[in-house]
Structure 1
Amino acid sequence: MKEEQKNFILFAAFAALVLLGWPMISHWFFPQQPAAPAKMIDGKLQPVPNSGVDPATNALKTIRSRDAVLADSPRVAIDTPALKGSINLKGLRIDDLVLREYGQTVAKNAPPIRLLSPSGAEGSYFAQFGWQGAGAPDGNTVWKADGETLTPASPVKLTATNSTGQTFTVELGVDSNYMFTVRQTVANRGGAPVAVIPYTLISRGQRSTDTSQWAAHVGPVAATNDAAHYIDWKDIESTPQQFTTTGGWVGFSDHYWLTAAIPDQRGGVTIQQRGTAAQQYQADVALAQPIAIRPGKEATYTSHFFAGAKEVKLLDAYQKQYDIAKFERAIDWGWFEIIERPIFTYLSWLFKLVGNFGVAIILLTITIRGLLFPIAQKQFASMAKMRQVQPKMKAIQERYKDDKQRQQQEIMQLYKAEKVNPLAGCAPMLLQIPIMFALYKVLLLTIEMRHQPFVLWIKDLSAPDPATILNLFGYLHFTLPSFLAIGVVPVLLGVSMFFQMRMNPAPMDEMQKQMFAIMPWMLMFLMAPFAVGLQLYWITSNVLTVLQQQWLYARHPEMKVPVEKPSTAKAK
């Protein structure tokens, strides 16, 4: 009895440690709610170090209201089915952009997601286009526009002229989604040759409010022609990262949103990511070699700028249309992309078929469990055989407990005589791990699940269950600690896990019995931060497991017979 009490105390201590320590580690593993916006230090941010780009492009003024900052400079409106905002003619920046199709919350009249903001306003985040070289326009140049509004049907031409006879022109076009086309032209009307290097920079005045997780990168991204590089914010605060490549792109990735400077994929470019300790960051891409322009000649360089949602099919389409190296890797698919992609494609098809993402998740789970059923059946049959020989194996272990080598030999002979493979039950389980992890990542990463309703109070499958029980479903106005914010769906998950574990044979060890008894309720707490879509998958999977086990127990009744403990009496 004393040993059982000791085991229970150890297990209780372990459970308390997990529950109390869970909030400190869960942000690395599970979807998170947005954090509060970062604040400025003394109302200022230090300029980002750069090579050749005017530091004034990154210097921020005292924080003011966005409307006041926007009113300070002449602008060209941006108006497309997916985007709305404006271009700052001072410095030639796209620094005002919202995503029309995505609301900040699930509320019907929620304001749209704001992606870009001007320098001097909260959340400064913008793209700028220009040239390195003597006489090139800088961040204070005011450009002249030939139109008032940029639309998919009407590109805008911006022009600036210097004192030595060079005319700089940027023609901006945009499609009906999120891709801008940037045609930069230099006409040399002077009397001497000039050399210029076209560049695009993306300046960001603070880190993303989304949390970077082990399964979903948030932060600086750079892609070369052979790899995608997911970079930590703090890494570039101390040491800039630079890549020389033909093709590729560079930018910043939020959980669902992306900005990317995309050079001409046929020429050599230098890509950089850099930052400061004041959390100001810059991604830039510049042509690796200067363009020499003789008097009376001109040269044009075409690049692209992406600012929008990381929609899977759209990223794939852009990658194919413009031959952009690794553009689909803006989504951090990870190692199991070969499994995740088919799962995503099938889930999207189911969603179009039934019109409800929650129902699509249930149907996907049924499909996956159906495909894995032969593996599960084989695993269960192997467990049945192992259970049959367990008393004989325990007897051998007791008989030869002082001779481990002889013990192993006798056990292997027993396996051979009974035609039992102890690894047969493990191999099918190992095959299921990448499939389950791939499904988890699909539901975590893809924007297609964001703000998708299911039934009743579940209005967003990408967020945790809002119907928290301990504050009476929100009627009591206080915020619960994360490990106590248990909603109805996590409770259903715990109940489904409880019935699933009840179907398993009772373990012989008392400590294991105690662990199995409390585990469903621990999982209820641990799974609460998950998106409801993931919990819905888990509940459906548990229900299917219970039904599957009932059928398998009918075929293997010996699995219900308790295994007798081996006698503790010494052999005579």
Structure 2
Amino acid sequence: MSQDNRNLVVFALIAVLLLFGWPLVQHQFFPTANPPVTTIKDGKTEVLPQPSADPAADAPAAVRNRQQVLAETPRVAIDTPALSGSINLKGPRIDDLILKDYNQTVAKDSAPIRLLSPSGAPDAYFASFGWQAQGLNPPGPDTIWQASGTKLTPATPVTLSAANDHGQRFQIRIAIDQDFMFTVQQTVANAGAAPVQVATYALVNRKGVSEDPDSWTIHIGPMAVHGGSADYDINFKDIDKAPERFDTTGGWLGFSDKYWLTALIPDQGQPFAGQFRAGANKAYQADYTLQPRTVQPGQAVTQTARFFAGAKEVRLLDAYTDKAGVTMLDYAIDWGWFRVVEKPIFYYLDWLFKLVGNFGVAIILLTVTIRGLMFPIAQKQFASMASMRALQPKMKAIQERYKDDKPRQQQEIMQLYKTEKVNPVAGCLPTLLQVPIFYALYKVLMLTIEMRHQPFVLWIKDLSAPDPLTPLNLFGLLDFTPPHFIAIGVIPILLGISMYFQFKLNPAPMDAAQKQIFALMPWVLMFVMAPFAVGLQVYWITSNLLTIAQQQWLYSKHPALKQAAVK
């Protein structure tokens, strides 16, 4: 077999692996996009349900049951600009919470996200605060607490009160801010005749695992910050086998979905023992206990904790970390190794969005900015590529002259590079610099709730999801759903076309097999990129078009390079 044929066979094998093996790899290491939010049927856009959007969602048939559960116990209403719901006075528990600003789907009449739901209802998810019974005899889970008010708002905290038969009185004062942070003060006043030991605890309990997929690049599930670092290594499967425990001072623990978070945040100056454990019927619990304290007769002890329950908004988590002193709450978003690049890109992209009002346009402007900053380097790349084109006749002559002496052939080619002052790898630098930028945009689109359900134009209703429109079923006019791996959308096809024209401007390899490889590469990459978020494809298309324009401008400024390439 000739060298050319061997190269072609190797490329064919690589292409097959990319097309058929890549989906298996990307599912674990690089989840390609959020689930599609729409589908095209009979040429019309239809909204799809989003089961992973709603941690405590109720199936339609179960709504009545949940309402019955809520009606079984006395409650204090919650009403803030961001949240609505209620506190269960039995327990007590924060077990009814709706996020006002976030809907389950892109439909205009979509219901809001339900984050917490009471025990006994489907997908129960709740938080509770209390004291361990170490000779203290605290109120139990069936105790009905007395409330100082009927509604919790940012302006009206609520104090819950209960007592035991030994002279101790218990209070839980709950306050809430304008966003998603509860502040919980737990007080024990000892009116008895003997000192008592007080060990404060808090827990968050959820039924079932998250619907969001956990992967190597995006952690979903139990999460904690302890020992000065974020722990992304705890999974639901791990705590099915055995509890996960740690001791630390400063930090937090809870459950992280892709966009939603519940986090128990003890006093950041006190040591605490945290743990995750599994219960019956696929229930999972995160809890912590503070070290016991002695309360003398006639004295009281107050310990303050916080509870975050809401959306993982980047600016909000950063503010709680930087201004409110919550250790590494911003790490609830799993930015990964490139956070130093990803967060600035997010903030710039978010600023552009606020400026123009469309995230697709903001991504285009981001691309223009990046290409503008890299323009001097790109010009050197294009000049190097053009010089390589000019050298091709000489390189071809060397290959012909020393076709039977490969070492001598390589030696002469390297000498040619040195004589003509051409660096064959100089053109790779801009591409290498774009790799972390491209990956950073991938993480921004995948992770940040600010990108969730952001439309672009026409049928693109969510830039963080794949393109739902494909010509394989005549753009939805045929009642046929193509297999996932060949359902190439319109935007990926445009990406393939833009890559084809960009590759055409690159120096053509002298090896015949390599020419065939480069001719097929854009279409292979089109299939590989098709399942990724449309926002990534918009970035790449824009970058390709700017690259083509830059290279055409270079040739217009240096006609000799183009003439040399033509020869």
Pick the TM interval, shorter chain: 0.7 to 0.9
Kindly indicate whether the alpha-carbon contact (under 8 Å) linking 1:131 and 1:197 is maintained by their aligned counterparts in 2: yes
Aligned to 2:40: none
Of 116-125 and 150-159, deviating more is 116-125
Aligned to 1:546: 548
Aligned to 1:57: none
Matching of residues 316-327 of structure 1 within 5 Å: 316-327=318-329
Matching of residues 2-151 of structure 1 within 5 Å: 11-12=11-12, 14-28=14-28, 29=30, 30-33=32-35, 65-134=65-134, 135-151=137-153
| Secondary structure at the counterpart of residue 113 of structure 2 | strand
Aligned to 2:239: 236
CA RMSD of aligned residues (A): 3.0
Q: 1:293 deviation in Å?
A: 0.5
Deviations 1:361-393 (A, max 9, x none): 111111111111111111222333445556656
Aligned to 2:39: none
177, 180, 188: which one aligns with 2:179: 177
Aligned to 1:443: 445
Q: 1:229 to 1:277 in 2, by over 3 A?
A: farther
Which residue type is aligned with residue 122 of structure 2?
A: E
370, 373, 377: which one aligns with 1:371: 373
Q: 1:339 deviation in Å?
A: 1.6
Q: 1:153 deviation in Å?
A: 1.4
| Secondary structure at the counterpart of residue 65 of structure 1 | helix
Which residue type is aligned with residue 539 of structure 2?
A: Y
Aligned to 2:527: 525
268, 271, 275: which one aligns with 1:272: 275
| Secondary structure at the counterpart of residue 305 of structure 1 | strand
Aligned to 1:162: 164
Deviations 1:17-60 (A, max 9, x none): 4333344333331123298579xxxxxxxxxxxxxxxxxxxxxx
Question: Given the alignment of the two structures, is residue 468 of structure 1 paired with residue 470 of structure 2, yes or no?
Answer: yes
Distance 1:2 1:320 in 2: 63
Q: 1:557 to 1:276 in 2, by over 3 A?
A: farther
Deviations 1:243-270 (A, max 9, x none): 3222111111111111111111111122
Kindly indicate whether the alpha-carbon contact (under 8 Å) linking 2:7 and 2:514 is maintained by their aligned counterparts in 1: no
Aligned to 2:56: none
Deviations 1:491-523 (A, max 9, x none): 222222222222223222333333333333333
Kindly indicate whether the alpha-carbon contact (under 8 Å) linking 1:93 and 1:126 is maintained by their aligned counterparts in 2: yes
Distance 2:24 2:280 in 1: 24
Q: 1:224 deviation in Å?
A: 2.4
Q: 1:225 to 1:324 in 2, by over 3 A?
A: farther
Of 531-540 and 359-368, deviating more is 531-540
Q: 1:338 deviation in Å?
A: 1.7
Q: 1:107 deviation in Å?
A: 0.7
Q: TM-score, normalised by structure 2?
A: 0.87
304, 307, 332: which one aligns with 1:305: 307
Q: 1:277 to 1:533 in 2, by over 3 A?
A: farther
Of 434-443 and 122-131, deviating more is 434-443
Distance 1:355 1:444 in 2: 20
Kindly indicate whether the alpha-carbon contact (under 8 Å) linking 2:396 and 2:510 is maintained by their aligned counterparts in 1: no
Question: Given the alignment of the two structures, is residue 358 of structure 1 paired with residue 371 of structure 2, yes or no?
Answer: no
Kindly indicate whether the alpha-carbon contact (under 8 Å) linking 2:202 and 2:288 is maintained by their aligned counterparts in 1: yes
Q: 1:313 deviation in Å?
A: 0.9
Of 330-339 and 424-433, deviating more is 424-433
294, 298, 316: which one aligns with 1:314: 316
Question: Given the alignment of the two structures, is residue 261 of structure 1 paired with residue 264 of structure 2, yes or no?
Answer: yes
Distance 2:382 2:565 in 1: 16
Q: 1:414 deviation in Å?
A: 4.5
Q: 1:113 deviation in Å?
A: 0.9
Q: 1:329 deviation in Å?
A: 1.1
Of 138-147 and 322-331, deviating more is 138-147
Kindly indicate whether the alpha-carbon contact (under 8 Å) linking 2:4 and 2:511 is maintained by their aligned counterparts in 1: no
Aligned to 2:253: 250
Distance 1:142 1:500 in 2: 70
Aligned to 2:502: 500
Aligned to 1:42: none
Q: 1:534 deviation in Å?
A: 1.7
Aligned length: 539
Q: 1:222 to 1:104 in 2, by over 3 A?
A: same
Which residue type is aligned with residue 257 of structure 1?
A: W
Aligned to 1:218: 220
Of 535-544 and 385-394, deviating more is 385-394
Q: 1:72 to 1:480 in 2, by over 3 A?
A: farther
Deviations 1:296-320 (A, max 9, x none): 1110001100011111111111112
Aligned to 2:46: none
Distance 1:402 1:160 in 2: 92
Of 144-153 and 8-17, deviating more is 8-17
Identity %: 62
Deviations 1:534-556 (A, max 9, x none): 22112211211221222233437
Aligned to 1:204: 206
Of 64-73 and 29-38, deviating more is 29-38
Kindly indicate whether the alpha-carbon contact (under 8 Å) linking 1:119 and 1:125 is maintained by their aligned counterparts in 2: yes
Of 183-192 and 4-13, deviating more is 4-13
Distance 1:409 1:9 in 2: 27
Q: 1:321 deviation in Å?
A: 2.7
Which residue type is aligned with residue 440 of structure 1?
A: Y
Q: 1:476 deviation in Å?
A: 4.2
Kindly indicate whether the alpha-carbon contact (under 8 Å) linking 1:206 and 1:279 is maintained by their aligned counterparts in 2: yes
Q: 1:222 deviation in Å?
A: 0.7
Q: 1:112 deviation in Å?
A: 0.5
Distance 1:286 1:479 in 2: 52
Distance 1:407 1:269 in 2: 69
Aligned to 1:328: 330
Q: 1:180 deviation in Å?
A: 0.5
| Secondary structure at the counterpart of residue 467 of structure 1 | coil
Deviations 1:332-366 (A, max 9, x none): 11122222222122112111111111111111111
Distance 1:355 1:36 in 2: 28
Distance 1:19 1:411 in 2: 35
Distance 1:351 1:369 in 2: 18
Kindly indicate whether the alpha-carbon contact (under 8 Å) linking 1:249 and 1:325 is maintained by their aligned counterparts in 2: yes
Kindly indicate whether the alpha-carbon contact (under 8 Å) linking 1:224 and 1:326 is maintained by their aligned counterparts in 2: no
Q: TM-score, normalised by structure 1?
A: 0.86
Distance 1:260 1:143 in 2: 24
Which residue type is aligned with residue 465 of structure 1?
A: D
Aligned to 1:43: none
533, 536, 556: which one aligns with 1:534: 536
